[in-house]
Every structure is written in structure tokens, then in C-alpha cells.
Structure 1
Amino acid sequence: MLILVLNAGSSSLKYQLIDVETAEVKANGLCERIGIDGVMKHEIAENRKLTIDHPMPTHKEAIEFMLNILTQNDTKVIENIDEISAIGHRVVHGGEYFKESTIIDKNVIQKIERLIPLAPLHNPAHLLGIKICQELMPEKPNVAVFDTAFHQTMPEENYLYAVPHEDYTEHKLRKYGFHGTSHYYVSNEAIKMLQKEQSKVIVCHLGNGSSICAVKDGKSIDTTMGLTPLEGLMMGTRSGDIDAGVIPYLLEKKDMDANQIIDYLNKKSGILGVSGISSDLREVIKAAKDGDQRANICIEMMCNRIRKYICSYAGVLGGVDAICFTAGIGENADIIREKVCSGLEFIGVEIDKNKNKIREKTNREINKTDSKTKIFVIPTNEEFVIAQDTYKLVKA
């Protein structure tokens, strides 16, 4: 069964065509600069990589072009779109409506629309992708897979904010958490590696957007992102945790309005803001090696905050069996893994520096043999989770 997985952004469209039964990725790609000039980066299963300039004034043209690439001429991987069984859509915010993935109907669309105030940059784009697929492929079932769903198992004491309770009951002001498909996939892989169903796992999803999740017996019990993806760790351009008093201070000192403050904290802070170099950690690490002091401070700040949350979640879990690193930084930046683990020996963390430097695109253990706590590097696969959930729902 072939599942088309879509992740529609405001000016981008990521896609994968996956054979769920064999786990083979037939093709994948990214349409960028939709509404500007349009560029597609497309990769076929045989590792044929293409970059194609093509006008994409709207998401509809981007999806139409993607379907043409999959079915026509030299880039063809299927004869026609009839071979696609269903479409799985990543949806960032499911609020309290959705505790699991669901087949999309009018009622589901209405609920995703109601959640737009909680994810104004993401949910409208996802809805656009859903509606276009329904128009272009009306016979195909569409499934929504929510970033927030995995975290719906958090207990009340972990998801509530210390604000008047009516703001939760009336306005749904609470922690929701994100990166749920990644945390679900990685924690399940860790459980397999531990061979231990009753387990205490901490997953560090570290990329341009970063979050940590405490997973007990396969269920999320706490996570760093909150009402929005701004809370928690220091990220590429996001500040992460910050004193709420900073906001009125900036309003006064820099004469900003609310929208400018949100832009400042979401797009101008984090690694970019502290380093003054880039939001790309690779460039900051290079600058640090060349002696740049701000770059060094930026790396130390980032690792310190990750370490503090690991210690916090070890307390929440009552111990830890494994710490997992995943996503772009977590999978590839050995210096970050080493710095994060340094000083955690008191909770049984003993990293093997030689194993840590090995680069492989497979699940691997990087702790010393006698380390009480396991340290895993597990490449995430959010698209496969979306494809699996879509397959299960459509088959059922």
C-alpha cells in the first residue's frame, strides 16, 4: 500500500511516497518558495536527486507539479495516482480534540479550523494541503496525524499552567507539546533496544526546533514545548524559556507591539540571537572552533539548558533507563551530545567518546559498557509514523 505523506507549510511543501508494507521510500522532496518563484528538490528511491525550477504561485500548483513528477517521464515512480492508497497529513495542533490520528471529514476540518488561534502559522497551511488533496484526488482518504496527540497522556499537574483555572476551562490555556510523532517513534525504538516495556526514557529532539520529552512505559508524561512551540529549549531562532517580565520590559524599552515581540522571540532569538552568526548550529560550532567567544557561549547555553531539562525529567520519571538523541543536531552533532552528557555521571550517564564520534544513519548505543543509563542515537522517522497511522486507519 502506497501512502503519500504531506507536510504543508506557509510557503513550502514536504512530501514522501512510502510503501508502508516494505518501509520503502519510493520518492521524497520539498517544494520551496511557493508563491514566490518555486523550486522543487526531488529525490527518487535510487538516490537520483533533482532540483527543478518551476513556477508555483499557490499550493495547488505545487501539489499538481509534485503529482506530475511522481507519474511522468524520467522521474516516474508510479504509473498514475490511482496507485496511491491514501494521503497522510502532518497537522501541528490538535488541541484537546484529538488524542490520536483520525480520518479527515468535515467535522475534523472544522475542529482544525477552530484551533487556528493556537497555531496561526501552521494549521492554515495544513488545511490548505488537505483541501487541495480532496479536490485533486477526491476518491482518496485523507488522514490527519497531530504533533500534539502523543502528549495527550500528560497528567494534569504537568500540562496546566499556574494561572487562574478559568483560563484553562474557557480558553484552553495549557501545555500541549509538539514533535509528538518524533518522540513517539524514537521512544518506541528505545524500548525495543532496551528490551524493556516498563521503561523510563528521555528523548531529546534537537534540530532547528527542539524539544525534550519524558516517556514512561511508552507514554508521554511531560515535554518542554507548551501552548506553542516557543516554550522550552533554546532553538535555532526561538528563545525558549524566558521570564514573562521580559515582554513588558521590551514593550517599554524598544517600543515594540505584541506582534513584534512574538517575531523577536520566535525568529530573532535562540542560537541566531545569542551567536550573532547564524541559526545553523554547524556554522556556530565552526566559529567556536575558530575562537569566537559568543559562539562558545551560545553552545554552552544550549547544552546547559538541555542538561537541566534531562535532570528535571529524571526526577519526574523517578530515574532514567535511556537518554535518546534525535533530529538534525541530535543525530549529527557529536560535540553537543558529549557536552550535554558531561556532568550527568551522577545519574549513571557515561558516554563513550569514541562511539559518540561514529556517524551512522542507524540506531546506535554510544555509552560506555558499564554505564547504568543507556545513551542512544536514534534517527527519527516522523514520515513513517504518519504513513503507518494512515495505513492502519484506512485498512481498518
Structure 2
Amino acid sequence: MTDYRSRVVDEELAQRMAAMGAVLVDGPKAVGKTRTAEEVARTVFRMDVDRAARTALEVAPEQLFASPTPILFDEWQETPDLWNLVRRAVDDHDGKGLYILTGSARPRDDARVHSGAGRIARLRIRPMTLFETGHSTGEVSLRRLLDGDDPAGTSSGLTVDALLERIIIGGWPDLLDASEREASLWLRDYLRTLAEVDVPGLGPRRNPGNIERLLTALGRAAATPLNLTSLAKDVGGARGRIASETLTNYLDALDRLMLIEPIPAWRPHLRSRTRLRAAAVHHFVDPSLGTAALGIGSNDLRRDLNAAGLHFESLVMRDLRVYGQRLGATLASWRDSQTGLEVDAVLELPDGRWAGIEVKLGEAAADAAADSLLRMSDKIDHERHGKPAALIVLTGGRFSYRRPDGVCVVPITALGP
């Protein structure tokens, strides 16, 4: 296959296959899991549509496992027994990278599966970053910034208007060459299928109308802490607030489909008695889901730059998750409930290093963002947490540089892994 576009996750997949007997590759529908796995697989079984393979799994599973490896079992969660069979096959056969499982949902509630620890590695694929779609030069490496290097690299020259279009289109492989109108139609169908088929398919009593209202409410809540009381009212509509248990059930379904990725609160040791907010900040896995749920386009974002900034933040968080995953990093948010001071993201590395990150669509807001980062850093107990490896302002602007105060300013269209 010659039309494959390289992904940041390709290297991670190769590393996991070299280390483990099997790899689970998961992520939302339509992010390119199967296509990425096909690049390295010799045998492919599509368990959602291949009836013969499903029958063989029930009566003679050894025939499937006798195929040339690596063997890709696509949409494995449609046949949950496959998980334990793969785990056993790893035990019974020498070698690494023998099997790949891809799936767009976690197994149903009644599935009984072993954890797979020590046998099956896990790898998450998300929608494509600006670097992967060709809208960022990638010349400013996140890894090198965290190592203390100065940001040196040019942006792709994407204007703010063009960035707003990328928010609407998103990072879906099927939409690489799509117009905004084509993308909007595709995403509308994606969300309709989600509400009418995917979420109800995960369990009983999941009302499609409620799910559509939930998606719209979550679109309005992009890049803000979730208020469950308000969400319950929005979802219930004219009939009144839905039960908290029902709302939790809906949110759990979206989480199992890997479509929402809230950023939890960071609770570091502080130099003062500052009280920090504990609520997670809501983000979709791709910003296009929020704007599609709201039924808005780039022209609407131009008329409401405050909303545009929030959806731009979701785009940046998507890219940071992809680049950070390669480093084993996690993302958190930081909000001082007393002063209102906040920082959009704190990136933590496995070795204990951390970086504060602020996101601003307009490059003119870099001064205020840098001030927030410096004030936040002053509140952290550096004896326990160390000084920040980097303080970074990510913008929709043009220029990369290190300020005299040490804060790095980087266009998202120059950032890469």
C-alpha cells in the first residue's frame, strides 16, 4: 500500500511490537487504527464483518493462529473471547510482535477478559496532529523544548482563518483533502451514528435524543471544567434534568468509545495554602466533534473569538497528547480557586520533570500567558517538584522564540514531536 501517511504513533507501535508478544491498538472510530496496523501485519482478520473468521474462532481457533504473523484482528471487541485466546497464544509461542488487536470501543460490560499484563502492550491512536496532516512544520520539537533547548523553527504559515478551518475539519484521515463543507457533512453523519448506534450499542436505556443533546452541551463546554448539574439540565431539555446516574452512564459510554478526554486537575505541593480546583477540564478527542455537535463553522468562530480560543485549545491538547504520549507524558490542568489564576496544561514526564503550558490563539496574548505561567511556577514547591523543565506559550501566531524571562513562545504550526 503506497498511500499511507506516516503517523507519530508508527514508532511507538514498532517499539511495542519489539518488546511484547501482542499489541492492543485502540482509539475512536475512523482515526486510522486499521490502516496503521496493516502497514506491519501479514494477515488481517476483520472480526466485525468476516463471518468465516468468527465461526472459526468458535470451533477451531487454532486455524486463525496458524496464519502468518504478525496477525491483525481488527475490531476484536466484537468477539471478546479473542482477547484471552491471544493472551494464551502469546504464552504458547515464542516471539515478539505476533498479534495486533485493533478496536474502537472497550468490550461490553459482560465480557470477561484477563488484563493481559505482561503479554499484551497497549497503544492509543488519536486523530492526526497538524504535523501529521502537513499543517505544521514540526521544526520545534516538544522533546527538545523539555530538554531545555531554545525554540528554533519556522511555522507553516497557516493563518488564523486557516487554523479555524482546521478546527472544523479535524484530524480524521478520511478528511485529509476535504473541504470544510465536506467535513461538516461527514462529521454530522459520524455524530448521528454515534448517537443512534454506537452509544446505545454499549448498553440499555441510552436515548439517542439525550445523547445528541449531551454532545451539543459538551460542545459548548469545550476547554472548561465540567458542571454535571448544568449538563444534566441541558440533556434533559424540556422534560427536566436527567438523573445523575443516567448522565454518568452516558459519559461513561463516550469514554469507552474514546471520544472524550478530560484533563484532570494537577494537585502539586504548593508554597502557600492556595486552594486548587479539582474538576477535570473537558475536551473531545478532536476539536471538530465539538464544533460539529454545535453545528458551527469557521465563520461562526471568527464572529466569536472567545469560543474560537476554547476550541483552539482543544486542538492544541489533541496535538500535545499525541506528541506527549511518545514521551510517556501525561497532561493535567491547574486552576487556583481563590485568585482565578489558571494554566491550561501541565505536562508531566515519567522522570518527574514537568512543564507549564498556556494556549492562546492570538500571538498578541503571549505576554499575559507568560505572566500566568511565571506566577503559577512561583506557587509550586520547587524543592518537592523541581523547577519547570519549560514554560511554553502555544499560539496561532507566526514566531518561535525564548523570551528574556525564559518563557518559550511557539506557534502550534511549528510544533512537532
TM > 0.5: no
TM-score by length of 2: 0.30
TM-score by length of 1: 0.31
More strand by share: 1
Q: Which has the bigger relative contact order, CA under 8 A and spacing at least 6?
A: 2
